[in-house]
Structure 1
Amino acid sequence: MADAQVLCRSLGCGPALAAPGHARFGPGAGPVWLDGTHCTGEELTLARCRLHTWGEHDCGHSEDAGAVCAGERRTGEGGAVRA
């Protein structure tokens, strides 16, 4: 949930409500860029979290993570974010 909290915050979409894994929203395609992301939940962006080197991974798209945000955009528009 800490990683999802940082992602939702950085996108301006309100607090994280859930952090489903196992490709809950469908598996991605192409290269896996992030693996081993460890956030405290206080960071402003994922780049400030402890990360493995971009592109280095030991996983597949069946493990893709997602984030469900509250949808409180700064512009006043609501909506879900898939990441």
Structure 2
Amino acid sequence: IHNQTWMSVCDAAFDQQDAEVVCRELDCGAPVQVLGAAAFDKGDTQMWTQEIQCTGNESQIHLCPASLHKDNCSHDDYQGLFCA
């Protein structure tokens, strides 16, 4: 959620630490599998294109630092994630 809006996350540079924070925020356990390339959907929601750089200790994804570098992501680059 960014500015009260749900956004998709680009799969570029999304890593285990980012996954840990997302699963924690959603209160759905630990990350089991991190999937890129729009494994679930090639929807048309707005996408967060800055590289998220979580340490893995944050409680919410919006608390993670983000680089100023923006990835050139398309709707084929949505991040997917299984938590359990």
Alignment-derived partner of residue 69 in structure 1:
83
Provide the alpha-carbon RMSD of the alignment.
1.8
TM-score by length of structure 2 reads 0.69
Q: Deviations over 1:10-32 (max 9, x none)?
A: 01101111110111112121322
Structure number with the higher strand fraction is 2
- 1:1-83 alignment to 2 at 5 Å? 1-52=16-67, 58-70=72-84
Contact kept, 8 Å, 1:37 with 1:50, in 2: the verdict is yes
* One-letter amino acid of the structure 1 residue matched with residue 21 of structure 2: V
Moved over 2 A (4+): none
Distance 1:16 1:48 in 2: 18
Contact kept, 8 Å, 2:20 with 2:30, in 1: the verdict is yes
Gaps of 5+ in 2: 1-15
* One-letter amino acid of the structure 1 residue matched with residue 82 of structure 2: V
Q: Deviations over 1:19-49 (max 9, x none)?
A: 1011111212132234311111111110111
Gaps of 5+ in 1: 71-83
Shift of 1:57: 5.1
- Which is greater in Rg? 1
Q: Percent identity?
A: 34
TM-score by length of structure 1 reads 0.69
